[in-house]
Structure 1
């Protein structure tokens, strides 16, 4: 069996040491989507070449450094854009609600106007809230601030709600009147009259842990 010659042996060795890889991984977060400049890569290659970790190894070339960053950026872009694009396409066929960053309330979505991907990989959509003008449009995190629309209930459907359920509850204060996330902590079932549900639901709001007794007409349940 023929052995590897000196050139093959050198090419078979890892191009970067573990220390160099750790430093570049850290710098990659700062570089983001920008193409690294020649000066940046040259400075990094020179520092690597002078390091004691590279004793006995060939000097690092700036082209190798730039190639590493470009390959990593392509890998990250492939991971982010494909599933996110599919996620955006899936928003068109359903009814949604989105959480406003201004007051934390949930509002029905009239339309999704645009989307963007932040350097962190976070997907955001530009939302037009139902019943509001363009001056109230907001960028909303898709993962945490957009979901299928909650369901208002008829008086005969109160049996759908159980202790422990997540609901949205209409809450009024001196400052605002919004639908907030809350959990059902207790239910007082009562006989209905001919017009409405008379049951009392004790809710605990997620944002401030306050509890309140409410009627069914202030609640919407989450899709199962």
Structure 2
């Protein structure tokens, strides 16, 4: 199994769990759980594949990805009530999913011979757009856009780290993908645990 296949599989599973947890907060039925889990788990990868001209899109070529997302949704449907804080679990699962999905986007773009700019953008797209779709559809404040939090920035930082390591360590892509995952997770976890933030724009009265 290739590195890209492993990363896609892990990203689909973990993002599906986050989608199902958001569905539980929205009190949807089982079909709603499956829909939101599938949307979350394949949304970013679908956009990535379309932009890079991959044919077929990864889950169309391997429908097992959708079945995995559905299975994850069903498990959460029957167990979410056991969690003491679904939102806290959601945040940490989402951080893990981000740290897997960004390297998946990086791996596909690198494998197709794209330069650093496209590699970084595909990492960000793969990591962020599934969760963005999930939150918008479920009428939640998108984690991607929460004021000052490192989410989009974490994805960007991880993708840049992958490009930097790839320039320094020629050969198989695992070192760059590992660096991508570690930097992405560290930035996101630091934002949640230690309150790391970026400065935000503050409006001033016109002169």
Q: Could you say which structure has the larger radius of gyration? A: 1
Q: Which has the higher strand share?
A: 1
* TM-score of the two chains, using structure 2 as the length reference: 0.24
* TM-score of the two chains, using structure 1 as the length reference: 0.23
